[in-house]
Amino acid sequence: MGRLKPWLRRCEWLWRSSRIHDEIAEEFQFHLDQRTEANIRSGMPPDAARRDALRRFGPLLQITEQGYDVRGAGGLDALIADLRYATRLLVKNGGLTSIAMVTLALGIGASTAMFSVTHAVLLRPLPYNDPTRLVVIGGDMRMRHNFDEPLSYENYADLREGTRDVFDDMTAVVTTRNIFARGDGTPEQLKRAFVPANFFRLLGARIVGGRDFGDADGQPALLRDSAATPNQPQLPLVSIISYEYWQRRFGGSPTVFGHPLQYGANSTLIVGALAPEFELVFRDSADVERSCDIFTAMRVNYDSRHRSGFYVVDDKLKWTGLRAIARLKPGVSLERAEQSAGRVAAEVRRDFPVYGGGGFYYHLEPMHQHLVAEVRPAVRAFMGAVVFLLLIACANVANFLLVHTSLRERELAVRGALGATRARLIRQVLVEALLVAAGGTLLGIALASAGIRGLVGMMPPHVPRLDTIALDPAVLLFSIAAGLAAAAGFGIVPAWRASHPDLMLTLHGSGRTRGLGEGSLRNGVAVAEVALSFVLLIGSGLMMRSFIALQHIKLGFDPHHVLTFQVLPGMLESTSETRATRIREIQTALRQVSDVEQITAAALVPLDGGYGTIPWGQEAAIVDRSRYQAADSLSVLPGYFETMRTPLLAGRTFTEADNTPDRNLVIVDQVLAAKAFPQESAVGQRILISIRPVKPEWVEIIGVVAHQRATSIAESGNPQIYFTDGFLGHGSTSRWMLRTAVDPATVAPSVRAAIRNLDSNLLVNNMAPMTRLVERAQAGTRFSLLLLGTFATTATILASVGLYGVLAALVRQRTPEIGVRLALGALPPNIFALVVGQGLRLSTIGIGLGVIAAVGLTRVIASMLVGVQPTDPLTFGGIVVGFFIIAAVACWIPARRASGLDPLVALRDE
Amino acid sequence: MSRDTLDLPQGTLDMLVLKALSLGAMHGYGIGQRIQQLADGMLRVEEGTLYPALYRLERRGWIESEWGLSDNNRRARFYTLTRVGRRQLEVEASDWARLTLAIRKVMHAS
């Protein structure tokens, strides 16, 4: 019974409200009957008598006939009535309603999709313990304009010692790739990280099998005065494997722990396995592999007194390439940590001229900020674009509701007169807005889930954590909030107007009179729409110019008809002779493949990453080491420039005879040549470089080639120096490039077969046509262009619909006035000009505001632009003109209708 | 709009309704008829404004309503003047008298 009671009460409410409605109906019915009777008595025929009685009631009766409870009860039943009534009205107004909903759906869909991206990329916390306290540390050489480079072991170790006051602890990581054997013995390339023993403890990673590293795992493998040969570590290297590799390779068996894993001539002891999905999340340019299969503890030998140190990587000793991660002590600010690190850097600069001259500083950045720094401007710009689009969509719907409401102002006024309270009327209009918003939101969510799939497909590969982008609950919440905000936002104004106190004026008037506020309100909305979409158009115009500029940049090589791939040896080739032989064998094997015209190899492929700088200098650098400058270096096989079609500007290219360690010959690009020898030819000159161990050496420039856009298409990058593979002791060139007579993809299978026939232990990797690398390098700009372009187009369409709506409403409002003007002798062209003039006036204000806003806002996307200034006058000018044309078209139809009005009809309209 | 009946000046309908009801309880139709008769047919009250006025006055507490039986024995809603309404009528009547006096003085000035 207790549960039944509320239900009964609800039934009573419903019944009561319908009784109120019935009472009014009955009262009116009584009145109608009395009037009809009286009319008949005075001699009217019954039909006419009844019609006259109905006519006298006018709109009052229509409203009660629509079944609306005019006096308004409270509670649930009233809300249901509101909903039912609003639905009926909106359905009746089907065309306008669906435009409003689709508009909103576009806005909400786009913003939800973009918010999903932002959430995954910018907002989601790092997958580590207490990630806000994590700081990533690199090194700057400010004098050489090198920033956030990896640290040497010495600089890492000294920083760790010197900053114990601000950091709980510090660790580091460097990743590489090694070839391991699969279960069946065939080779497989694994991603591998070398880390100090405290790595997983500092990040808070979970070990699910075996054990974590202990401090003993990081103890020096080689003692300074050890009699053992330095190539033979005395203690085994200890490794923890990823959950995925554990499952894939060992079926998740715990028996693997404590057993050595062989790779080439080396082995490592597996002691544990990580929890699933452990990732190293660094930004792309940090050159850290994201998901490593195997993590090996560095055995570190460092003596801070002599500042000589190294860590052991297989049978080699390494001393550089580290990314440091530190955990701030609770309550310590980044500024304090920077001061502390600054003191260590000052000591390093003081004690070591190479760092003093280079302007060495530690580069501290919160880990999350470090991760997203490269994409933040783009994501922010897109978020901005989306907010604009959402605003425009809301403005359009607000306009729709303003028109929708003003058409029923009379009806609302009558309802107010019949006793509906102001709150009641506001609620009624809000319910309508809410219905439109709900429909738009639902549609928008559907659009968003389709849009996210599209976005992820189009995204450039360097966006962090791309794979985690999905329509998740937080995003869903956002879109619902956006929908509600939109409803409240654009519902409140019409609702307020509907409840305006001078309702009786409207009731007495013709239903066309406007409060002073409305015209200017609607104009304001239109101006805002024009301004917002103008800013978006400018943004996409700039991106378009960038994209065109990108297409026209001289790459310094011809990417067409070039197949690139990597050939890795199954085992490390031990001597330079065997490595040289191996390369010749591969060359010979590739020459047998049909349709291959030219063959070459280099250490790296342009636009595929991995470039590092070496110092170069002239006489002055011998005494003053700060005079060294940075250049990208690349070792190549003879024939490289011919195959890549990199233009030779002076001198000659490498020959087979140059391809030995004892010929100190280099080829430089035009940038370096101009820097080093601005007045004379660089050919035959000597420069000082430091690439081979021990000390800098003089090399002779034999040729000057065009600059290659090797690290990025958009930026010209460092000057370039080329050596022969032989100069570096053979075997450094594993990236092959074939110029083919046909589509390079068709040659790929026979290339694989040729390498397999040569030696089945050779691993062929990263096979791709060169053009794909170029496309990938353009992907960021292409993506930005596509996105901003879509937003701008949508926004412009919406804005012109908005402009059209405002002018159409204006013409409808001023129809009587236009009639008077026509009657007084105005010609249709005058009327046409009147309406178009009004539209263009609004557009001019909007565009003016848009220009101001765009000048301020395009700075946000400055880092995404190529070869064009954020305030490019051509873009601004072109879009201003273009927008006026669009605005003129939007004004055309209402203006035509206005000028085509028959004065008599227009006058009678009142 | 024909010339033989007049539109009511703004705000006078409320006063007329109160006056009509001061003569006794009446239903909506009757109120309209009563005003028309008292004005010798020179005024006509539109239903579209009469009922809003009735609901407005009721909300202000100047009149109240109750279902009863009409002359021809049908159910009809009867309105009666409240005490507050009666006072309101006095106020409005004296205001109106002063207003018309003032206007007449202006119009008859020579």
pLDDT of residue A706: 94
The C-alpha atoms of residue A760 and residue B109 are separated, in whole angstroms, by 123
* Tens-digit pLDDT profile for residues A566-621: 888 755 556 788 888 889 999 999 999 989 999 999 988 998 877 777 888 888 87
| Residue B49 belongs to domain with CATH number | 1.10.10.10
Residues 6+ apart with CB under 8 A from A443: A101, A102, A104, A105, A108, A109
- Computed on alpha carbons and rounded to an integer, the radius of gyration of chain B in Å comes to 15
Please report whether residue B99 resides in a domain.
yes
- Number of separate domains in chain B: 1
The C-alpha atoms of residue A873 and residue A882 are separated, in whole angstroms, by 14
Q: Give the mutation candidate from B8, B27, B29, B46 for the A interface (greatest A CB count, under 10 A).
A: B29
Residues 6+ apart with CB under 8 A from A643: A562, A598, A599, A600, A737, A738, A739
Across B22-98, where does the E strand assignment appear? Answer: 26-27, 63-69, 75-81
pLDDT of residue A433: 78
Q: How far is B33 from chain A (nearest CA, A)?
A: 10
Determine, for residues A31 and B59 on separate chains, whether the beta-carbon distance falls below 8 Å. Answer: no
Establish if B75 touches chain A: CB-CB under 8 angstroms: yes
| Chain B: residue whose CA lies nearest to A62 | B48
pLDDT of residue A132: 87
Determine, for residues A419 and B59 on separate chains, whether the beta-carbon distance falls below 8 Å. Answer: yes
Determine, for residues B47 and A30 on separate chains, whether the beta-carbon distance falls below 8 Å. Answer: no
Averaged pLDDT score across all residues of chain B? 85
Q: What angle do CA A178, A183, A187 make, to 5 degrees?
A: 35
Establish if B60 touches chain A: CB-CB under 8 angstroms: no
Q: Which two tokens stand for residue B10?
A: 């703004």
Please report whether residue B51 resides in a domain.
yes
Establish if B7 touches chain A: CB-CB under 8 angstroms: no
Instruction: Compute CA distances A684 → A161, A162, A665, A721, A726, whole Å.
Output: 48, 48, 10, 15, 20
Establish if A26 touches chain B: CB-CB under 8 angstroms: yes
Which residues of B are less than 8 Å from A60 in CB distance?
47-48, 51-52
Please report whether residue B3 resides in a domain.
no
| Chain A: residue whose CA lies nearest to B48 | A57
The domain segmentation of chain A, as residue ranges, is 4-73, 131-372, 376-552+777-908, 572-760
Nearest to A416 by CA among B37, B21, B55, B109: B55
Check: CB of residue A279 under 8 Å from CB of residue A290.
yes
Specify the pTM: 0.61
3-state secondary structure A67-115: CCCCCCCCCHHHHHHHHHHHHHHHHHCHHHHHHHHHHHHHHHHHHHHHH
Among candidates B47, B52, B76 on the partner chain, residue whose Cβ is nearest the Cβ of A417: B52
Among candidates A30, A59, A419 on the partner chain, residue whose Cβ is nearest the Cβ of B29: A30
Determine, for residues A28 and B51 on separate chains, whether the beta-carbon distance falls below 8 Å. Answer: yes
Paired residues of B6 in beta bridges: B43
Q: What angle do CA A96, A101, A102 make, to 5 degrees?
A: 100
Establish if B68 touches chain A: CB-CB under 8 angstroms: no
Range of the domain at B31: 12-108
| Chain B: residue whose CA lies nearest to A504 | B49
Paired residues of A285 in beta bridges: none
Question: Which residues of chain A carry a pLDDT beneath 50?
Answer: 1-2, 10-16, 65-74, 223-231, 501, 503-517, 910
* Burial class of A729 by CB neighbour count within 10 A (0 to 12, 13 to 18, 19+): middle
Q: Give the mutation candidate from B51, B66, B71, B77 for the A interface (greatest A CB count, under 10 A).
A: B51
The C-alpha atoms of residue A418 and residue A880 are separated, in whole angstroms, by 51
Residue at token pair 């700075």: A859
Nearest to B92 by CA among B18, B24, B32: B18
Establish if B34 touches chain A: CB-CB under 8 angstroms: no
Check: CB of residue A773 under 8 Å from CB of residue A616.
no
The C-alpha atoms of residue A586 and residue A600 are separated, in whole angstroms, by 10
Give the A:B interface size as CB pairs under 8 Å. Answer: 54
Q: Which two tokens stand for residue A96?
A: 């306008």
Q: How far is A786 from chain B (nearest CA, A)?
A: 58
Among candidates A26, A33, A57 on the partner chain, residue whose Cβ is nearest the Cβ of B47: A57
Establish if A16 touches chain B: CB-CB under 8 angstroms: no
Among candidates A31, A59, A60 on the partner chain, residue whose Cβ is nearest the Cβ of B29: A31
Residue A756, classed as helix, strand or coil, is helix
pLDDT of residue A857: 83
Q: How far is B76 from chain A (nearest CA, A)?
A: 6
Nearest to A65 by CA among A120, A16, A25: A25
Which residues of B are less than 8 Å from A54 in CB distance?
none
The C-alpha atoms of residue A459 and residue B30 are separated, in whole angstroms, by 77
Determine, for residues B51 and A33 on separate chains, whether the beta-carbon distance falls below 8 Å. Answer: no
Determine, for residues A60 and B77 on separate chains, whether the beta-carbon distance falls below 8 Å. Answer: no
pLDDT of residue A655: 92
Among candidates B28, B48, B59 on the partner chain, residue whose Cβ is nearest the Cβ of A59: B48
Q: Which two tokens stand for residue B58?
A: 């009721």
The dihedrals phi and psi of A260, each to the nearest 5 degrees, come to -80, 150
Check: CB of residue A441 under 8 Å from CB of residue A480.
yes
The C-alpha atoms of residue A487 and residue A885 are separated, in whole angstroms, by 32
Establish if B28 touches chain A: CB-CB under 8 angstroms: yes
Which residues of B are less than 8 Å from A27 in CB distance?
27-28, 51, 76-77
Residues 6+ apart with CB under 8 A from A479: A108, A111, A112, A115, A441, A444, A445, A448
Which residues of A are less than 8 Å from B69 in CB distance?
none
The C-alpha atoms of residue A851 and residue A843 are separated, in whole angstroms, by 12
Binning pLDDT at 50, 70 and 90, where does residue B47 land? confident
| Chain A: residue whose CA lies nearest to B69 | A30
Among candidates A27, A34, A418 on the partner chain, residue whose Cβ is nearest the Cβ of B52: A418
Which residues of A are less than 8 Å from B48 in CB distance?
56-60, 414, 507
Check: CB of residue A151 under 8 Å from CB of residue A320.
yes
Region label for A708, one of left (φ > 0), alpha (ψ between -120 and 50) or beta (otherwise): beta
Establish if B47 touches chain A: CB-CB under 8 angstroms: yes
Nearest to A287 by CA among A179, A188, A189, A149: A149
Residues 6+ apart with CB under 8 A from A227: none
Q: How far is A74 from chain B (nearest CA, A)?
A: 16
Binning pLDDT at 50, 70 and 90, where does residue B71 land? confident
The C-alpha atoms of residue A264 and residue A180 are separated, in whole angstroms, by 7
Determine, for residues B29 and A56 on separate chains, whether the beta-carbon distance falls below 8 Å. Answer: no
The C-alpha atoms of residue A343 and residue A137 are separated, in whole angstroms, by 15
The C-alpha atoms of residue A851 and residue A873 are separated, in whole angstroms, by 11
Establish if B108 touches chain A: CB-CB under 8 angstroms: no
Which residues of A are less than 8 Å from B41 in CB distance?
none
The rounded percent of chain B whose pLDDT value lies above 90 is 36
Residues 6+ apart with CB under 8 A from A843: A530, A803, A883, A884, A887
Among candidates B48, B76, B77 on the partner chain, residue whose Cβ is nearest the Cβ of A60: B48
pLDDT of residue A463: 64
